[in-house]
Chain A
Amino acid sequence: MNNSSFWRIALPILSVSSFLLFWSWYVHTSDVSAFVLPAPETILKALSEMIFDPKLWHHAKITLTEAVSGFVIAVSLGISLGFIMARVPAVEWAMKPFIVLLQLVPKIALAPLFILWFGFGLESKIVIAAALAFFPVFSNALVAFKSVDNGDRDVMTMLQATPLQRLILLDLPTALPVVLTGMEVSVVMAMIGAIVGEFIGGSEGLGYLAVAYLQELAVPELFGVIVVLTLMGLLLYTLIGRLRAWFAPWHASAEKA
């Protein structure tokens, strides 16, 4: 291992551990209440108890189900609508006002409405997650499908390709890298949507659990939930990143041939 790759690994470890040490030192030496800011080791202890409690995993599964379902709906709708609007200008013109309006509305503000319409169960959270996750995928898909090169389309015309063959052999592969970039943003939005939905109304999920711990003033456990949520988001984000490397390996090195 040469000098620079040693520091590349050593420095982040050093900075994170100094941060945690400072945090711990601050909590113990200042008169900040443990209810407001627990020390990192207190959070770790709470977390290590929580992970052996099936209750946590039950709630985590609920949140994950909501976020992933919402994400899948958003991706399917986003790609389909993006494709249709890119290919049929009339649809784009007709839909434009709605799209602009929906893009401007803070989607989070619609969350109570969705609870009202879809109830306190999973459905409303899935809808909120989908609503938040939709736009990054949709707008990227729209741009990506529009940017399919006319010269490449001429190639497919010369081959007498059917519309379906064009979609599978040209449009989707062209759009995929850009759509996957949108999906990376989307999956994080879907997590936010699911959690916000649970905050507002529900009896299950990590968002609900966080609120419940807050009401019990179980602050270390609240931090524990935040850590679990962060790890979950990281997992989903990494998964999409992997998907991108696997689906579009030409993209990293591709100047267009």
Chain B
Amino acid sequence: MSDLSVEAEAVEVSIRGLTKIFGEGEGAVTAISDADLILQRGEFLSLLGPSGCGKTTLLRIVAGLEFPTEGSVDVRGKSVWNRHKRSKAATKPISMMFQEARLFPWFTVAQNVALPLRVAGMPKAQRIERAHEICETVGLAGFENHRPAQLSGGMRQRASLARALVTDPQVLLLDEPFGALDAMTRDALNMELMQVCARADVTTILVTHSIAEAAFLSDRVVVLAPRPARITGVEAIPFPRPRSLDLQRQTEFQDMVAHLRTALVGGAE
């Protein structure tokens, strides 16, 4: 993953000239302008910036939830957007995790986790078995038959992560998934996430406003700035993997956080 040279067949996501403008005329707001990004297969990339820098919009365009005003997004060589129409073929390998767990209260944890498989038409016995396996991996063993309302915030996000992983996605999009959790739960879930991503060789884009989180998890950090919303820099994070929470206490890590902070502030000015 240290090799960042661009080989065409290793390109997983390519974003070119991406611009999104909400509204028209006087009230028009540029959510993101002229963004270019290439993601390698298996790479973990963070979009780091203050609110209003367009990081969530960028992610939602890649997910096919928001159409771009200009530019293009390709996932595995297939265009996500054909004019304003979302391509099912291009977005099929993508899973997304949201800021809220977005579990359905009428389903149990296992049913929620198995939902993507149900929609894809997998038989019940098979998908429930698969859901149980995934629950085990993300530390939800024993909670499969609980309802979401019975879980803590951290457990709900675990279930949400399990649901995102159950289809073995090739691209994982994370929209500040642990933003609302306390620091300890967040650390635990970040470790979990990193292990899962390493195992699955999945390409990940994480939206975050936590500098430490971005530095800890990522291979590269994309720094964004608001007004106008744009990419101001891309920083490589050279720390070897596997990484442990100890890394956060080392000077190199703290230097990296300081460096990213400077990049953030510099970009905003």
Contact = CB atoms under 8 A, between A and B. Distances in A.
Interface of A: 151-152, 154-161, 165, 169-170, 173, 248, 250-251, 253-257
Contacts of B103: 257
B21 interface: no
A179 to B, nearest CB: 13
Contacts, number: 61
B115 A255 contact: no
Interface core residue of B100, B105, B115 (most chain A CB under 10 Å): B105
Contact-size category for B: 20 to 34
Interface stretch (B46-54, B68-76, B87-95, B245-253): B87-95
Given A155-B102, A157-B64, A158-B95, 19 more contacts: A151-B100, A152-B102, A152-B104, A154-B98, A155-B98, A158-B64, A158-B91, A158-B96, A159-B119, A160-B91, A161-B119, A165-B119, A169-B115, A169-B119, A250-B147, A253-B147, A253-B149, A255-B149, A257-B103
B149 A158 contact: no
Contacts of B156: 257
Contacts of A248: 106
23 contacts: A154-B98, A154-B102, A155-B98, A156-B119, A157-B65, A157-B86, A158-B65, A158-B95, A159-B115, A159-B116, A159-B119, A160-B88, A160-B91, A160-B120, A161-B119, A173-B104, A250-B105, A250-B147, A250-B149, A254-B149, A256-B105, A257-B104, A257-B156
Interface string B201-235: 00000000000000000000000000000000000
A155 B103 CA distance: 9
B148 interface: yes
B98 A151 contact: yes
A158 B115 CA distance: 11
Contacts of A173: 104, 106
Nearest to A152: B102
Where chain A touches its partner, the secondary structure class is helix
Interface in B89-131: 91-92, 94-96, 98, 100-106, 115-116, 118-120
A255 B156 CA distance: 13
Nearest to A156: B119
A257 B64 CA distance: 24
